[in-house]
Structure 1
Amino acid sequence: MKQAIVARTDLGMGRGKLAAQVAHASLSAVEDTSATVRKEWQGEGQTKVVLKGDGERTLFELADRAEREGLPHAVIRDAGRTQLDPGTVTALAVGPGEDRVVDRVTGDLSLY
């Protein structure tokens, strides 16, 4: 099992900002995961991969695919306190879920 987090490359986020947005996405998706899936994923080491997304449209298209696959997912919008305007879509988490199902949604993306 794994979780894929897709972060936008077109925003020029600093490393700390990127890390915070990835963390927000991961936790938000896990909160919407069933207890059974969450326990299994945690028991396997909570595998995560961070991938590149080239823009907001890409993240929403991937979120739609995740929805169709029945995967937990979370789109993150920034609060606007530091580098970005309020409401800027920054990241998407897909899963946790079975590797092959997560890969059907995010398998074509490059590692961040």
Structure 2
Amino acid sequence: MGDIKQVVVIRTDLEMGKGKIAAQVGHACVLGAEHVRKSHPEWFQKWWGGQEKVVLKVSGIKELQEVKRHAIDLDLPWSEVTDAGHTQIAPGTVTCISI
């Protein structure tokens, strides 16, 4: 097994502020790590030492869904962040995914 890196993919079409983006990425990191801790504990342990991650952007929901489908096709664990709608965007909006 090579290096393990968490990838967060966030939508740019929602025009979220910098703080909102940071919060959504934070949610994705925690959700993704917890999912992998439960589903692939050996991957989690290897990743935990350095917690390497990268954040990428997509232009909208269709592109985000394509990335998610690709992760599914590769049998990679993923998590999806949906916003509660308390501030800048509508409740239930998918903002990003973690792979």
TM-score by length of structure 1 reads 0.79
Aligned counterparts of 1:36 and 1:86: Cα–Cα separation in 2: 35
Q: Which runs of 5+ in 2 are unaligned?
A: none
Structure 1 residue ranges, 4+ long, deviating more than 4 angstroms after superposition:
none
Match of 1:71 in 2: 76
Aligned counterparts of 1:7 and 1:38: Cα–Cα separation in 2: 22
Q: 1:61-92: CA deviations, max 9, x gaps?
A: 11111111111111111000110000111111
Match of 1:24 in 2: 27
Offset at 1:52? 0.9
Offset at 1:57? 1.0
Q: Letter of the 1:69 partner, please give it.
A: L
Match of 2:11 in 1: 8
Task: Kindly report the root-mean-square deviation, in angstroms, between the aligned alpha carbons of the 2 structures.
Answer: 0.9
Match of 1:39 in 2: 45
Match of 1:81 in 2: 86
Q: 1:26-46: CA deviations, max 9, x gaps?
A: 111111112111010012x11
Identity percentage of aligned residues? 46
Check the 8 A contact 1:30/1:72 in 2, yes or no: no
Aligned counterparts of 1:23 and 1:70: Cα–Cα separation in 2: 23
Q: Which runs of 5+ in 1 are unaligned?
A: 95-112
Match of 1:105 in 2: none
TM-score by length of structure 2 reads 0.89
Q: Secondary structure at the match of 1:90?
A: strand
